[in-house]
């Protein structure tokens, strides 16, 4: 079931530095596996989870939102690295992306699934009280709902800032042997590109 150990020193850890997001975007997508999303609610409560599934979206990639240029929706993708790009999908689901590359190079990693760490009961209520813990965060729209992300509140947030309400902090280093490469999900353009990565055998991955 749960495949990774709970990082012990997660509390008080500094967020991953901005340089982390300057490696090639597909490298960042792989390295984000095992890192930790930390969400601080207005109440001060802390929700967190280990990233177990990601997808890369690159310049020149027809499936990437930046492919047809800058719009109000995708503007944060064109901004500096280490910020969140949160957008509304299908009119109802918020998607969490992390912007990579220098300002002007609009690439990002979509965070597709988390393994919950802290605040599980709060996540459960944010997800309509569902009882199945696996289904709390095993999909991009699900995880965004579970940690109360919205485009209005969280698009553009700096995830490298220790006082930010959304941060990515160091978790585990995951060896390549534990990472499965596969095709991205739910897209029509560039559907054959193997730019989806997930932790082998992890129960919280959206689809094996």
Which residues are near DNA by CB under 7 A?
Answer: 55, 57, 63-65, 68-69, 71-74, 77, 85, 88-93, 95, 97, 108, 110, 127-128, 130, 135, 139-142, 145, 184-189, 206
33 close to 198: Cβ distance less than 8 angstroms: yes
Q: Is 147 left (phi over 0), alpha (psi -120 to 50) or beta?
A: alpha
Shortest CB 38 distance to DNA, Å: 20
Q: Is 95 left (phi over 0), alpha (psi -120 to 50) or beta?
A: beta
Shortest CB 80 distance to DNA, Å: 17
> What are 46's strand-pairing partners?
40
C-alpha distance across the termini of the chain, in Å: 13
Helix, strand, coil % over all residues of the chain, rounded to 5: 20, 25, 50
- Pick the closer one to DNA by CB: 152 or 177: 152
Cα–chain-centroid distance for residue 45? 20
- Pick the closer one to DNA by CB: 13 or 153: 153
Shortest CB 175 distance to DNA, Å: 26
Q: What are phi and psi of 41, to 5 degrees?
A: -75, 160
- Pick the closer one to DNA by CB: 3 or 135: 135
Shortest CB 73 distance to DNA, Å: 3
- Pick the closer one to DNA by CB: 33 or 145: 145
d(CA 75, CA 72): 5
Instruction: Name residue, tokens 């995708």.
Output: 74
- Pick the closer one to DNA by CB: 44 or 69: 69
The alpha carbons of the chain give a radius of gyration, in whole angstroms, of 15
Shortest CB 105 distance to DNA, Å: 13
Please work out, in degrees rounded to the nearest 5, the angle formed at the alpha carbon of residue 96 by the alpha carbons of 91 and 98: 140
- Pick the closer one to DNA by CB: 51 or 145: 145
Shortest CB 185 distance to DNA, Å: 5
């Amino acid at each position: 079931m749960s495949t990774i150990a709970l990082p012990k020193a997660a509390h008080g850890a500094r967020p991953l530095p901005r340089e982390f997001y300057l490696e090639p975007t597909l490298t960042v997508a792989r390295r984000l596996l095992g890192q930790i999303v930390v969400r601080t609610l207005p109440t001060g409560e802390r929700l967190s989870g280990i990233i177990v599934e990601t997808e890369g979206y690159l310049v020149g990639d027809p499936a990437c939102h930046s492919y047809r240029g800058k719009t109000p929706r995708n503007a944060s993708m064109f901004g500096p690295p280490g910020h969140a790009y949160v957008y509304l999908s299908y009119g109802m689901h918020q998607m969490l992306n992390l912007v990579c590359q220098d300002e002007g190079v609009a690439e990002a990693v979509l965070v597709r699934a988390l393994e919950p760490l802290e605040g599980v009961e709060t996540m459960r209520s944010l997800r309509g009280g569902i009882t199945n813990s696996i289904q709390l965060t095993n999909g991009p729209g699900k995880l965004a709902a579970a940690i109360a992300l919205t485009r209005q509140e969280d698009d553009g947030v700096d995830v490298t800032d220790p006082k930010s309400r959304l941060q990515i902090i160091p978790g585990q280093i995951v060896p390549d042997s534990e990472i499965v490469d596969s095709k991205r999900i739910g897209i029509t353009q560039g559907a054959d590109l193997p730019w989806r990565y997930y932790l082998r055998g992890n129960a919280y991955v959206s689809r094996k």
